[in-house]
Amino acid sequence: MILKMIACSVVLFSATAAGFVIAGRFSGRVRDLRLIQEGLKMMESEILFTSTQLPEALLNTSAKLEAPLDRVFVHAAQILEGRMGYTAGEAWNLAFEKYLEALCFNKEDLEIIRDFGKSLGSTDKANQEKNFRLARLQLSSQQVKAEEDRGRNERMYKNLGFLLGVTIIILLI
């Protein structure tokens, strides 16, 4: 009996946890979208107002940014400082690829981020400004969608996990 109780609580616990993890990705995406917009804003002012070179701008931004986005910015800066022939866009994409697992972006978000990377650092100030504006605009509309998704799905997945656990237990008993 005790063994059964333990097994049941393990099943219930893991199913609920799985539900929470999936639900967590919804609020994670909202967080990441908010952070990357903050990051872009900071980087934009470094570039437009002080003409800071990109590796330095990335590092300065990362220092003010929360996890997990800060690591991405640091990594991009490190790739550029390694001077192995990578352009800004390539370094930007490589850094996001490296931390893809830790980030909660969906395909659309990543598409915007990659498109932004293409012109990062490779044009004059006026066009950099346009590029930053466009990316932030697109990301903020993604954020609105992400918030809706979260409102709709977060609770559901949390409950679903718990209910799934209960279902399994009932079936097994």
Applying CB under 8 A, the residues found at the interface with other proteins are 47-48, 51-57, 59, 80-81, 83-85, 87-88, 91, 120-125, 128
Closest CB to other proteins among residues 90, 147: 90
Closest contact distance (angstroms) between CB of 43 and other proteins is 11
Closest contact distance (angstroms) between CB of 39 and other proteins is 17
Closest contact distance (angstroms) between CB of 85 and other proteins is 4
Residue 118: is it exposed, middle or buried by C-beta count within 10 angstroms (0-12/13-18/19+)? middle
Cis omega (within 30 of 0) for bond into 55:
no
Closest CB to other proteins among residues 76, 146: 76
Residue 47: is it exposed, middle or buried by C-beta count within 10 angstroms (0-12/13-18/19+)? buried
Kindly state the tokens that stand for 100: 């893809």
Closest CB to other proteins among residues 58, 139: 58
Closest contact distance (angstroms) between CB of 81 and other proteins is 7
CA separation (Å) from 100 to 33, 96, 115, 143? Answer: 14, 6, 16, 18
Closest CB to other proteins among residues 40, 59: 59
Question: How far is it, in rounded angstroms, from Cα 16 to Cα 121?
Answer: 45
